[in-house]
Chains A and B, each alone.
Chain A
């Protein structure tokens, strides 16, 4: 390595370390703060490392609002949205990837447009009125059913199914397999990684939803964990950031843990869903 390369190597490495510290510090500081006593939180200059693990914050966060119940709600909502999106996405993706049919282009465009119109935000007022007339306000139905299909998922599945050679499908048909048998016996087993990635992306999306759960649930028992965080800030009148950060950590943990464990799968699915072809 010559001198010029060495300098560029060291500069690059330093920049990367700095950026990493900046990007990760809010999460790291929140984690540290969640174990600080109120005195440590408000000490000046600010402390970064707590003296000891002060678990009281976690107890308080769970007691202040019904955070435990809200986490269960979030889990139910996120799991059912994920399952729903996988089922609808696999079926529709299969239709677009493996069949030629009349109206395919129109159907595809109809779906594509929704990519840019997130339901939970743009038509939130009429969607809310619809829930009211169905009697779904304050129920799991309202939190789950409108989000059980999406363009992104369908396209992700379609992209993936298209990478599997059509010869397989022809061979299966000659062997007398029905289209559904081919889907379940051949395509799905070949798509496990992709389905796993899609499941992760959908789970994180559903777990992190905010605006829709905020407007469609009034009863504390039906609220989700994200709304719980907001309620925690409102309830913690003294702004004891130790307690707020403990609640934040509880809500953040599931998605962050999953992300750390299987980051590669996340990244791969994200890129293949985004790069259209």
Chain B
């Protein structure tokens, strides 16, 4: 009985993930080789046609480019800002508790709500941000409906939403750096800027990598709500990312085969990321 216990304990979890993650994942692969017949009454095996369609379509390259511009800028800006701000939050200055509580609050805000809040901030008629840009920088644009401003607005909302998550982890990581290391660098006369980038930053590499992966996943998948509400992939498709295109093909145009092929491409991207994660984080780069 004791021997059987661990297996029984795993049954509920594995039942769910096999039925609702592995089985559909396998079906994604299968579906990607099929196409609905003209009348939609049966599926026809078409081999690699869906993939060929995808990669001979210049629109899809635009989607890939948009995804990487959006993801890499959002992730890069978030990590950079989080690392800088976390330095100040571990100093325990007066008011830190209030600063933390208010700064972390976007963590509890959903992507859909974040998008609504930022749409309001950027709206030309009533948005405070639009107003400030007019008054300070004399930029008078319709943020959500013009290229490239829609992308910039999207990145702003994404960074705002992701920043608290990264802050929480950087604060924990910075607090774990042994004082002795920082003290010896003080004696060596390193200035704060050098200390920050030459000593602290390398020491928190594992966290940075973890955050990079987690943020990248967020921008690849969870950002759907932000895009759907703020820009709907527009203007002129300039904010259509892979997940948004997948949604359009799968649910607006109901082309299951093509959408499945797009899922497989997204699997591919995530597999590379997962591989990198195992290679660098689990093996422990620079773990103290």
| Residues of A participating in the B interface, judged by any CB pair closer than 8 Å | 8-9, 12-13, 15-17, 19-20, 23-27, 29-30, 33, 41-42, 44-46, 48, 87-89, 91-92, 94-95, 99, 101, 104, 107, 110-111, 113-114, 116-119, 121-130, 145-149, 151, 154, 179-180, 204, 207-208, 210-211, 214-215, 226-227, 229-230, 233, 239, 241, 244-245, 248, 251-252, 255-256, 258-260, 263, 266-267, 270-271, 274-276
Cross-chain contact B168 with A256 (CB below 8 angstroms): no
Tell which of B54-62, B63-71, B106-114, B195-203 binds the partner.
B106-114
Of the candidates B16, B89, B131, the one whose C-beta lies within 8 Å of that of A88 is B16
> Does any Cβ of A come within 8 Å of B119's Cβ?
yes
Cross-chain contact B3 with A101 (CB below 8 angstroms): yes
Smallest distance from the beta carbon of A85 to chain B beta carbons, Å?
Answer: 9
Within 8 A of A (CB), among B1-35: 2-3, 5-7, 9-10, 12-17, 19-25, 27-28, 31
Cross-chain contact B210 with A13 (CB below 8 angstroms): no
> Does any Cβ of A come within 8 Å of B190's Cβ?
no
Interface of B is mostly: helix
Cross-chain contact B270 with A122 (CB below 8 angstroms): yes
> Does any Cβ of A come within 8 Å of B229's Cβ?
yes
Smallest distance from the beta carbon of A265 to chain B beta carbons, Å?
Answer: 12
Evaluate whether A255 and B31 lie within 8 angstroms (CB atoms) in the complex, with A99-B6, A239-B123 already known: no
Q: Which residues of B contact A245 (CB under 8 A)?
A: 116, 120
Q: Which residues of B contact A274 (CB under 8 A)?
A: 169, 210, 214
Cross-chain contact A179 with B25 (CB below 8 angstroms): no
Alpha-carbon distance A245/B98, docked complex (angstroms): 24
Cross-chain contact A12 with B210 (CB below 8 angstroms): no
Cross-chain contact B263 with A256 (CB below 8 angstroms): no
Closest B residue by C-beta to A244? B116
Cross-chain contact A275 with B172 (CB below 8 angstroms): yes
Cross-chain contact B246 with A94 (CB below 8 angstroms): no
> Does any Cβ of A come within 8 Å of B80's Cβ?
no
| Residues of B participating in the A interface, judged by any CB pair closer than 8 Å | 2-3, 5-7, 9-10, 12-17, 19-25, 27-28, 31, 85, 88-89, 91, 93-96, 98-114, 116-121, 123, 125-128, 131, 135, 160, 163-165, 168-169, 172, 192, 207, 210, 213-214, 217, 221-222, 224-225, 228-229, 243, 246-247, 250-251, 256, 259-260, 263, 266-267, 270-271, 273-274, 277, 281-282
Known: A29-B117, A123-B21, A266-B107. 17 other contacts (CB 8 A): A26-B118, A99-B5, A101-B6, A110-B14, A118-B217, A123-B25, A123-B28, A124-B263, A126-B23, A128-B251, A130-B27, A149-B16, A252-B108, A255-B110, A263-B104, A271-B169, A271-B172
Of the candidates B13, B31, B89, B101, the one whose C-beta lies within 8 Å of that of A263 is B101
Of the candidates A30, A45, A266, the one whose C-beta lies within 8 Å of that of B131 is A45
Of the candidates A46, A121, A233, the one whose C-beta lies within 8 Å of that of B127 is A46
Q: Which residues of B contact A113 (CB under 8 A)?
A: 274
Q: Which residues of A contact B207 (CB under 8 A)?
A: 275
Identify which of A16, A44, A145 gathers the most chain B CB atoms within 10 Å of its CB. A16
Of the candidates A48, A118, A251, the one whose C-beta lies within 8 Å of that of B128 is A48
Cross-chain contact A29 with B121 (CB below 8 angstroms): yes
18 contacts between A and B (CB under 8 A): A16-B89, A26-B121, A46-B127, A89-B13, A91-B12, A95-B10, A116-B270, A124-B250, A128-B250, A149-B13, A210-B222, A210-B228, A211-B243, A229-B229, A239-B123, A239-B125, A241-B123, A255-B108
Q: Which residues of B contact A95 (CB under 8 A)?
A: 5-7, 9-10
Smallest distance from the beta carbon of B220 to chain A beta carbons, Å?
Answer: 8
Smallest distance from the beta carbon of A134 to chain B beta carbons, Å?
Answer: 10
Cross-chain contact A24 with B221 (CB below 8 angstroms): no
Of the candidates A12, A27, A101, the one whose C-beta lies within 8 Å of that of B88 is A12
Smallest distance from the beta carbon of A159 to chain B beta carbons, Å?
Answer: 14
Alpha-carbon distance A111/B11, docked complex (angstroms): 12
Cross-chain contact A208 with B110 (CB below 8 angstroms): yes
Evaluate whether A122 and B120 lie within 8 angstroms (CB atoms) in the complex, with A23-B160, A46-B126, A210-B228 already known: no
Alpha-carbon distance A275/B281, docked complex (angstroms): 10
Closest B residue by C-beta to A121? B221
Q: Which residues of B contact A20 (CB under 8 A)?
A: 98-99, 102-103
Q: Which residues of B contact A25 (CB under 8 A)?
A: 128
Q: Which residues of A contact B246 (CB under 8 A)?
A: 124-125
Cross-chain contact A251 with B113 (CB below 8 angstroms): yes
Smallest distance from the beta carbon of A230 to chain B beta carbons, Å?
Answer: 6
